[in-house]
């Protein structure tokens, strides 16, 4: 949320939308899900790990209710309560359904995290510095070179949590072309004739 950009990874379904999620310092590509479960097309290098949530929530000190929390305890309780309602978790990799997805739940470490929101951010949050806690179901993958399809989805039911309840569903399909590393040694270009001893 601390980068100003005209590229929206939720609506740009091509390479620019993928590139905006690349965290080069961590060697990680962050994928996003959104309502309607759109299909994205991406080319990525093979040495990049892929991180995405089946469904997640961030409660913090800058959002409006019901995602507002002034303290870490309030933020953690709110995000935990939302994710407790998660259902319809699905994940397919290369057409194969992955089961037992409940084991991939993860919330923020003690202390939560700090962040900065800039003007014109994707979530229309007021700018400022804040603190937050996230909870959700997270997947971390490393794919071999070649063509891969990843489809994921998750839903939340806030019926018992807020005065104006809602059911939220987000997901996506990513068609990924994972490129192999370029060879650092080409025998025909660097052939040497060594003397036979």
- In degrees, to the nearest 5, what angle opens at C-alpha 135 toward C-alphas 124 and 54? 85
Contact 130, 140 (CB under 8 A): no
Position 182 scores a pLDDT of 66
Mean pLDDT of 19-44: 87
* Spatial separation of the C-alpha atoms in residues 144 and 46, rounded to whole Å: 6
Position 184 scores a pLDDT of 33
SS3 187: coil
SS3 164: coil
Position 163 scores a pLDDT of 75
Residue 192's pLDDT band (cuts 50, 70, 90) = very low
Tally Cβ neighbours within 10 Å of residue 117.
19
* Spatial separation of the C-alpha atoms in residues 135 and 121, rounded to whole Å: 21
Residue 4's pLDDT band (cuts 50, 70, 90) = very low
* Spatial separation of the C-alpha atoms in residues 120 and 153, rounded to whole Å: 27
* Spatial separation of the C-alpha atoms in residues 67 and 58, rounded to whole Å: 7
Report the mean per-residue pLDDT for the chain. 85
Position 188 scores a pLDDT of 42
* Spatial separation of the C-alpha atoms in residues 44 and 31, rounded to whole Å: 12
Residue 122 has pLDDT above 90, yes or no: no
Position 193 scores a pLDDT of 40
Q: Domain map of the chain by residue range?
A: 15-179
pTM of this structure: 0.82
Mean pLDDT of 37-65: 92
The pLDDT tens digits for 142-180 are 999 999 999 999 999 988 777 778 899 999 999 999 988
% of residues, the chain, pLDDT over 90:
57
């Amino acid at each position: 949320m601390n980068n100003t950009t005209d590229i929206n990874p939720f609506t740009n379904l091509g390479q620019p939308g993928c590139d905006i999620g690349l965290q080069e310092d961590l060697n990680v590509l962050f994928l996003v899900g959104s309502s309607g479960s759109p299909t994205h097309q991406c080319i990525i290098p093979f040495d990049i790990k892929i991180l995405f949530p089946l469904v997640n929530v961030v409660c913090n000190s800058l959002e409006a209710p019901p995602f507002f929390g002034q303290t870490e305890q309030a933020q953690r309780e709110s995000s935990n309560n939302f994710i407790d309602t998660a259902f319809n978790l699905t994940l397919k990799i290369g057409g194969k359904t992955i089961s037992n997805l409940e084991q991939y739940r993860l919330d923020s470490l003690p202390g939560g995290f700090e962040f900065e929101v800039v003007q014109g951010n994707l979530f229309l949050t007021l700018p400022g510095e804040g603190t937050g806690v996230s909870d959700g179901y997270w997947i971390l993958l490393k794919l071999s070179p070649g063509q891969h399809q990843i489809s994921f989805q998750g839903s939340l039911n806030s019926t018992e949590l807020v005065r104006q309840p809602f059911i939220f569903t987000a997901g996506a399909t990513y068609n990924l072309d994972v490129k192999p590393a370029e060879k650092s040694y080409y025998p025909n270009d660097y052939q040497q004739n060594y003397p036979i001893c």
